Amino acid sequence: SKREFHNQHKSVILWFTGLSGAGKSSIALALERKLAELNKQVYVLDGDNIRHGLNSDLGFSPEDREENIRRVGEVAKLFMDAGMITIVSFISPYKRDRNKIRQTVNVGKFVEVFIDCNIKECERRDPKGLYAKARSGEIKDFTGISAPYEPPSKPEIHLKTDENTIDESVTAIINYLENNILVSSLTCQKTL
């Protein structure tokens, strides 16, 4: 498209999924910074910024989680249509919800990134104490404790964040993008 030509990269949705505390937001923000440094048009949609605004009317029931992901998917598609690399960072616990989004975009435009971290490490990293609150029953429907998480069976990218650093994870994503021609020449500058 003209936008992709102007931006010097293809548009894509990078859909990060994983447990709370797995590192989704940290990796998403680091990747956004790196891509912006490379003059790429990029934006992060994160659970925290969307839940406080667009989806502030939703709770955490299975139905509300489904609607949350549906809305986020629609917003991500708008950013993608605008020619952006859109990084979506949500727990998005249900396979069917992630697959619904994948099915609404062209092949190769949805890249599922499994931010995989064992639950003990997620709990150790938890600065808000959400896991402790979930285990005590103070928080209901908490993914990984009192609500299910369905890991992707065939994600395009699988990052083990209890074994790799944020920088290593960002490098792995950029390598994937370069190798799969989703982003042309990330390391090259745009010439006039």
Q: Which residues are the active-site residues?
A: 92
Runs of H (alpha helix) within 52-165: 62-81, 95-103, 119-125, 130-136
Q: Please, how many CA atoms are within 13 Å of residue 3, restricted to the half-sphere of its CB? A: 14
DSSP label at 5? Answer: H
DSSP lists the bridge partners of residue 87 as 14, 44
Phi, psi at 15, each rounded to 5°? -100, 105
Q: Which amino acid is at 140?
A: K
